[in-house]
Amino acid sequence: MNALEPTPTLVDISIDAEIATLTLARPEKRNALNDRTIETLGNFFSAPPREVKVAILTGSGGHFSAGLDLSEHVARTPEETMAHSRQWHRVMDNIQFGGLPVISALEGAVIGGGLEMAAATHVRIADATAFFQLPEGRRGIFVGGGGSARIGRILGADRMVEMMLTGRTFAAEEGVRLGLAHYLVDAGAALAKAKEIAAQVASNAPLSNLMIIQALSRIQDMSQADGLFTESLATALAQSSQHAQEGLKAFLEKRAPQFK
């Protein structure tokens, strides 16, 4: 690329009121994820705009993401490879725990690192064209973007082992049945459904949304006693807030709550 040419946009970011839509913008690569794309996502989710309450993550050109961009792969030492993986972990943690509910609209390829990224989102909507695959075993590599923890939690270790050993592809309907997505919609309808759900989630009490996305996954990693104690802390914070007071008042007055 000539030094005078503009750097291509890898993630298109648009904000409509309280909802941000981030669109992976490498359609010629089926939105394969390179380091600059991961860095862009990390920058957004580590410090999202104050007015944004919900984010939608999607892809362009009929695909969500074909995963790690192997065409840009460079030879790394074990130490360098571990550092690269840990950078992915930080970005995926920002998506899952950064404070925003994140909804993914999935179509076409949801493969490898693309599936790892989708698994970090909180609501996953697949259209009829979506397909899911973990082909790392066929490529002599291993998941490095958090898949062993996140996808393994969704599928269970046994199913993930089989998926990685065989590299087989799951179509949209089976992906939903396995939990890789929560909703199945007609081809081309995933983004519209994501916007519908995002508007609903944005109308929730902000503190409730924060507790839901911050506490539940962590409680699952705790002993039952520690999880129950943490639940008590979360409910004490949520139910003593002004949001809870408004929610109860709105219920009694038979109107929609107005959370601020």
Which of the residues are catalytic?
A: 116, 136
Burial of 257 (0-12, 13-18, 19+ CB in 10 A): middle
49 touches 20 (CB < 8 A): yes
For residue 57, give the 3-state DSSP assignment.
strand
The DSSP result for 59-70, as a single string, is: ESTT-SB--B-G
Task: Please report how the helices 78-97 and 206-220 are oriented relative to each other, as an axis angle in degrees rounded to 10.
Answer: 140
Residue 36 near residue 3, CB atoms below 8 Å: no
Q: Is the dihedral of CA 43, 18, 100, 136 positive or negative?
A: negative
Q: Which helix (H) or strand (E) holds 211?
A: helix 206-220
Angle separating helix axes 206-220 and 242-252, nearest 10 degrees: 110
Q: In 3-state terms, what secondary structure has residue 15?
A: strand
Q: 3-class SS at 88?
A: helix
